[in-house]
Amino acid sequence: MPTILYAEDDRDCRELFAFVLRQHDYQVYEAINGAQAVQIVRDEPIDLVILDVRMPMMTGYDAARMIGKEAPHVPIMFLSAKGLQREVQKAFDCGPMVVDYLVKPVTPDQLVQRVDEVLQVARTQGLEAVRQESLTREELAYVRR
């Protein structure tokens, strides 16, 4: 069973998406801020990290950079209402482990589909393949390097 860490300070959003992911046979750890997310990655075997951008104590960007140092093999997705080009670019600039950026609102089915895809491609082709595939999506095309 793949293990996901979902860090989101909005309780309703975090609980809804964690519940949906669990219903699709994922083990889910929940964090309410970036600092807690980093600690969970240090303590638990994680297959995928999903981060919000704006969180108390430590932003998703800062958490992504720290997680990348602790576990550079773990893919990181951002799930945020912040959809401006500079926000998305800042996420991908955190490092090669950042493989996707989804802009809210996202339906639970959309999230599960993307999580499934990210984990499958990461497992079979590696993080760079996931990242490149994500950057070909129309809504992220402006981030291409």
Pairwise CA distance, residues 64 & 69, whole Å: 9
| Token representation of residue 87 | 């926000």
For each of the chain's 145 residues, which pLDDT tens digit applies? 999 999 999 999 999 999 999 999 999 999 999 999 999 999 999 999 999 999 988 999 999 999 999 999 999 999 998 878 888 899 999 999 999 999 988 899 999 999 999 999 888 888 888 888 887 776 665 554 4
Give yes or no for a contact between 91 and 52, defined as CB atoms under 8 angstroms apart: no
| pLDDT value for 140 | 65
| pLDDT value for 145 | 45
| pLDDT value for 129 | 84
Pairwise CA distance, residues 40 & 43, whole Å: 5
**How many domains, in total, are found in the chain?**
1
Q: What is the CATH number of the domain that holds 104?
A: 3.40.50.2300
Q: Using alpha carbons, list the distances in angstroms from residue 53 to 22, 57, 121.
A: 22, 12, 24
Burial of 45 by CB count in 10 Å (0-12 exposed, 13-18 middle, 19+ buried)?
A: exposed
For residue 47, the enclosing domain spans 3-143
| pLDDT value for 97 | 93
Nearest residue to 58 via CA among 81, 24, 31: 31
